[in-house]
Structure 1
Amino acid sequence: MRVGEYLFKRLKALGVRHTFGIPGDFVLPLYQALERTSIKPIVVTHEPSAGFAADAYARIKGLGVALVTYGAGALNMVNAIAQAYAERSPVLVVSGAPEIQDRRLDALVHHKVRTFESQLIVYQEITCAAAALNDPRTALEEIDRVLDAISRRKRPGYLEIPRDVVFATGARSQRAGLPARRPDPAALREVMGEVVARLNRSRRPVIYAGVEIERFGLMRKLVRLAEKLNLPVVTSMDGKTVFPETHRNFVGIYMGRVGSPEARQVVERSDCVLMLGALLTDVSTGLFTARVDQASLISASSEEVSVSFHRYPDVNLVELVQFLLTTRAVKRRALRIPRRRRAALAAPPGSLTTRAIVEELNTFLAPGRFTVVSDVGDCMYACVDLRTDTFLGPGYYNSMGFAVPAAIAAELAWPGRRPVALVGDGGFQMTGMDLGTAKAHGLRPIVILFNNGGFATMQAIAGKKPYFRVAPWDYVGIAESVGGRGVRVQSRATFRVALAEALRSRSAFLIEATLSPTDISPAWARIADEIRSRLYAGSTRTKGVG
């Protein structure tokens, strides 16, 4: 079978129906091979958009594909794929490359950097498996190896395919799928016995769920587990919506001192925290203000389980969740689930603020109808108080530019749900022109643009600075120029009307929400206070904060 044909046959079997990218001369043979399949190429405005879109598609479908050219294409996408690696998103990057037969050491080929291997070396740093398919005899086996690694580790992989290899015939792959992982029986008995004992003797256990619950397909099992044991559930920011936020056992997002006060109370008073698939990053821990005693912690990830100070590398998250669902040894609790203090969130009735936008969205977002996608910035941290059932956002790596491309991918991956993209003015100026891509493919994202005229999150930390200003654009005009619709709103009442109008719209719809330059969400106010206390602790006595 030809190399390109085999690759796209494998991708289709894995559920891929779209790729994201921009054609270039070194990748044209791959696009030609793609034409012979039912997989549809989505051409975006810029390679970073391709990476962000493939990442979002992967989070929903289990695998996303970015198809780009050599050098100027693939290297332009490094940041987006670095984010996918950091956030454990199973993306495959497929890059074209110059022909093998023309590769002389002194050949100055366009898009080449230092050597013909430079791009491969870069991608080896941000993927779990990478291969240059320079030899058709091993190409099919290498494709299988990289795809197996992506599936197993839920991180990006990379394939580089020279132009003269795409239509070459490859040797049959001898690599069967990896056998199912079998935990060590002795380790399994020991860790499960310790987990059962710890849970049963605890008085205030809580489940703290993170992003790996979604990546490994455990969301429904998590609901069953919480209901079986009747435990309160908190999530991390990057794990938002891995547990239904309308469920009676859901408490809030735990981020130490800067997240939900109710979640903080439940976690930090607990004598047994069952941490499932959560990553203890600076973001998820509220700049490391989380206070979880390791002696009271049961932690399960895709790589190991630990109970207090005992580590079990031969047992993982999937195995622990399955055990807890099937065992009768853990007792069910009759615990009171704390209720959220909604009155504390209320914004003034007439003003349009970040808090007011979240409150209106909490009413607007009917379960099962929308996918909320957020860029980084206050639009994302405001979502600590947003209640929805599906959420995508760069909750750990925090790269700007994610929302609009991700909204496109979300609608393609999940056409029954309409995407609602939350983005700041700075983030929109990076990738917002992909509203035109949405129009080209008949997609209907609702884009809510938080226009405060600058980087308000930075201003909340360091004060007013000229370099925090964002150039004013006619965002409504831009949306209309690419075939969408748009409105500009300045009050809570007009924002509510705009949401209703957007819902009726049959095209991409942008709502430009005009905010005060000093408006920030309650969550970011707490984060900014924390950062200021660290940045200026030693300098305020001599220089001031300024």
Structure 2
Amino acid sequence: MSEITLGRYLFERLRQLECNTIFGLPGDFNLRLLDEIYEVAGMRWAGNANELNAAYAADGYARLKKIACLITTFGVGELSALNGVAGSYAEHVGVLHVVGVPSLSAQAKQLLLHHTLGNGDFSVFHRMSQNISETTSMITDMATACQEIDRCIRTTYVSQRPVYLGLPANLVDQMVDAKRLDTPIDLSLEANDENAEEEVLAQILTLVKEAKNPIILSDACCSRHDVKQEAWDLIDVTQFPAFVTPMGKGSIPEKHPRFGGVYVGTLSSPEVKAAVESADLILSIGALLSDFNTGSFSYSYKTKNIVEFHSDHMKIRNAIFPKVAMKFVLQKLLKQIPQYVKDYKPLPVPKAPAVNAKCDPKTPLAQEWLWTQVGEFLQEGDVVITETGTSAFGINQTHFPNNTYGISQVLWGSIGFTVGACLGAVMAAEEINKAKRVILFIGDGSLQLTVQEISTMIKWGLKPYLFVLNNDGYTIEKLIHGPTADYNEIQNWEHLKLLPTFGATDFEAIRVATTGEWNKLAEDPEFNKNDRIRLIEVMLEVMDAPSSLVKQAQLTAAINAQP
């Protein structure tokens, strides 16, 4: 074909990047655009239950595939999605937010259309999104429409941040030159300034040469900005002890002999805390230093020799080098560093957490036991999603198999995020490797915010493991404030009836309450096959929580109480 519609052009470009699933909801300003999805072979429309869930799903999908597309309608639809888009912005996740907007003629006449504020201002919602987008575009000129689409897709992919793209309803059918598709979008990073990069490398290598006790600390943007392989190679080449933060969990192999554990400031295990804080050089890869990621900012490094690797700059001690991207620095560092570490004598790393001691199988389940035991259930290649609350903190004491991908919205912390994210992650995992398991851990309170997206999972025949931690309410909130307050309580649900309620016919719904019941289930070969959707209700005491969460809640309560 010599010409295709502008709408189809958008989806052909996304398909070229293997962004094969589109999330969102129909609305009258995007309906004609949605028709074009079905014109592109291999593309599918997820069809979510609401826009917020769709934004969460796009986030989960993009964490595995580097880009996702969310489509909403003007006003009511796009505003419903913004909480999820803001989370993607905060946590460096590449989501292209496409909004179907009224026709250019309707905007020019300032018609009093539905979904508007009734004041003739058609740009107000676009302006709202500007502060949570890396860039935005409102297509108004067909002469530059394809160029703008390409720019928005490139920015989404390269920056790993959301981008807003407005498509007027009357332009979707306009024809464009199909030959543009023959030239792929340039996804390469902008080259570093050579002089600045050389200075950065020289300073890092000097610090490495002088260090006696260096460590590597991997954080969220190690995964988000695609430097996991470089980080793994750096561990192999240097043999430095390697640690992760909560947001960095899964970014480096935890079965590696040089892996030392999870560092969360004062909330770390004593061995990990001592190992990290006694270092005389810290190579910090992709840091996002939020409160829950740092134990309420309780890092206590004994050294000022800290090198921070970021996607768009480097920081060495107190010096910042803008527009020096970590990927290129790491690649060159790997070539140069061997001669600087040839005399390094590897220091021991903290031992892996001890496995649970045998206990009476009738012992009621408790969080401390559970999160250690989860590591025995996980397999290499799993995607593990943990909800804000006990799950996000408990997973820090779980020892991951290698190549396990962790998803936990530690910075933005939107309760209920993980149900939608699980949908997106399962759809992405299915496209990558049908054997890949996706495992969700979510509390009974968080589940109630976004439960309807389980219906979408069932619609597509997806097969996640949904572990619902039933501790009768918002335990994380109760630990911070109001342990008996009515506002921290929820209506109890019959969780085992949720799957059939949403129309599942091939499913498994199980309740476990004791250590023996958990072990029997986790060791069952049939249960370990991801051949159907499963919901497992895990019964726990109301105020039972991982010890790190109890301490974090105390720190948060103290900060909240400061005048």
Task: Within 5 Å, give how 1:523-538 maps onto structure 2.
Answer: 523-536=548-561
Residue 342 (structure 1) aligned with residue 353 (structure 2): yes
Residue 317 (structure 1) aligned with residue 326 (structure 2): yes
- 1:52 deviates by 0.8
Indicate which of 4, 9, 12 corresponds to 1:9: 12
Task: Within 5 Å, give how 1:24-35 maps onto structure 2.
Answer: 24-35=27-38
Q: Secondary structure at the match of 2:175?
A: coil
User: 1:13 is matched by which residue type in structure 2?
Assistant: Q
> How many residues were matched structurally?
537
* Aligned equivalents of 1:3, 1:310: Cα separation in 2: 46
Indicate if the aligned counterparts of 1:68 and 1:95 stay in contact, CA closer than 8 A.
yes
* Aligned equivalents of 2:137, 2:323: Cα separation in 1: 28
Residue 375 (structure 1) aligned with residue 387 (structure 2): yes
- 2:341 is matched with which residue? 331
Aligned-residue Cα RMSD (Å) equals: 2.2
- 1:166 is matched with which residue? 172
Indicate if the aligned counterparts of 1:131 and 1:158 stay in contact, CA closer than 8 A.
yes
Indicate which of 251, 256, 259 corresponds to 1:242: 251
Task: Within 5 Å, give how 1:62-461 maps onto structure 2.
Answer: 62-104=66-108, 106-113=110-117, 115-170=121-176, 177=186, 180-292=189-301, 295-327=304-336, 328-332=338-342, 333-340=344-351, 342-343=353-354, 350-368=363-381, 370-388=382-400, 389-415=404-430, 416-461=435-480
Indicate which of 501, 515, 534 corresponds to 1:481: 501
User: 2:147 is matched by which residue type in structure 1?
Assistant: E
* Aligned equivalents of 2:288, 2:305: Cα separation in 1: 17
Q: Name the CA shift for 1:358/1:19 in 2 (closer, same or farther; >3 Å).
A: same
- 1:22 is matched with which residue? 25
User: 1:36 is matched by which residue type in structure 2?
Assistant: E
- 1:494 is matched with which residue? 517
* Normalised TM-score (structure 2): 0.91
* Aligned equivalents of 2:196, 2:190: Cα separation in 1: 14
Indicate if the aligned counterparts of 2:283 and 2:308 stay in contact, CA closer than 8 A.
yes
User: 1:279 is matched by which residue type in structure 2?
Assistant: L
* Aligned equivalents of 2:447, 2:348: Cα separation in 1: 39
Q: Name the CA shift for 1:316/1:322 in 2 (closer, same or farther; >3 Å).
A: same
* Aligned equivalents of 1:48, 1:346: Cα separation in 2: 42
- 1:535 deviates by 4.0
- 1:537 deviates by 6.6
Q: Secondary structure at the match of 1:23?
A: coil
Per mean C-alpha deviation after superposition, the further-off stretch among 34-43 and 476-485 is 476-485
- 1:268 deviates by 0.7
Unaligned runs of 5+ in 1: 539-546
- 1:485 deviates by 3.0
Q: Name the CA shift for 1:107/1:293 in 2 (closer, same or farther; >3 Å).
A: farther
Q: Name the CA shift for 1:403/1:138 in 2 (closer, same or farther; >3 Å).
A: same
Indicate if the aligned counterparts of 1:260 and 1:384 stay in contact, CA closer than 8 A.
no
Indicate if the aligned counterparts of 2:218 and 2:284 stay in contact, CA closer than 8 A.
yes
* Aligned equivalents of 1:178, 1:218: Cα separation in 2: 15
* Aligned equivalents of 2:17, 2:446: Cα separation in 1: 32
Per mean C-alpha deviation after superposition, the further-off stretch among 109-118 and 177-186 is 177-186
User: 2:425 is matched by which residue type in structure 1?
Assistant: A
Q: Secondary structure at the match of 2:261?
A: strand
* Aligned equivalents of 1:533, 1:89: Cα separation in 2: 31
Q: Secondary structure at the match of 1:241?
A: coil
* Aligned equivalents of 1:341, 1:507: Cα separation in 2: 33
Q: Share of identical aligned residues, percent?
A: 26
Q: Secondary structure at the match of 2:223?
A: helix
User: 1:492 is matched by which residue type in structure 2?
Assistant: T
User: 1:56 is matched by which residue type in structure 2?
Assistant: G
* Aligned equivalents of 2:562, 2:222: Cα separation in 1: 38
* Aligned equivalents of 1:305, 1:437: Cα separation in 2: 42
- 1:504 deviates by 4.8
Unaligned runs of 5+ in 2: none
- 1:339 deviates by 2.9
- 1:294 deviates by 6.5
* Aligned equivalents of 2:227, 2:261: Cα separation in 1: 19
- 1:58 deviates by 0.7
User: 1:384 is matched by which residue type in structure 2?
Assistant: N
- 1:187 deviates by 1.7
User: 2:353 is matched by which residue type in structure 1?
Assistant: R
* Aligned equivalents of 1:504, 1:216: Cα separation in 2: 31
Question: Which string of whole-angstrom CA distances, capped at 9 and with x for unpartnered residues, describes residues 253-309 of structure 1?
Answer: 211111343332221111111111112222221111112356221111112112112
- 1:79 deviates by 0.4
Q: Secondary structure at the match of 1:73?
A: helix
- 1:397 deviates by 0.9
- 1:385 deviates by 0.5
User: 1:162 is matched by which residue type in structure 2?
Assistant: P
Indicate if the aligned counterparts of 1:144 and 1:175 stay in contact, CA closer than 8 A.
no
Q: Name the CA shift for 1:92/1:521 in 2 (closer, same or farther; >3 Å).
A: same
Per mean C-alpha deviation after superposition, the further-off stretch among 481-490 and 337-346 is 337-346
- 1:106 deviates by 4.5
* Normalised TM-score (structure 1): 0.93
Q: Secondary structure at the match of 1:305?
A: strand
Q: Name the CA shift for 1:119/1:438 in 2 (closer, same or farther; >3 Å).
A: same
* Aligned equivalents of 1:198, 1:347: Cα separation in 2: 46
Question: Which string of whole-angstrom CA distances, capped at 9 and with x for unpartnered residues, describes residues 401-453 of structure 1?
Answer: 12222222222212231111011112111112222211111111110011111
Q: Secondary structure at the match of 1:147?
A: helix
Per mean C-alpha deviation after superposition, the further-off stretch among 138-147 and 79-88 is 138-147
Question: Which string of whole-angstrom CA distances, capped at 9 and with x for unpartnered residues, describes residues 365-410 of structure 1?
Answer: 1212x21111211111111111222211112111111222222222
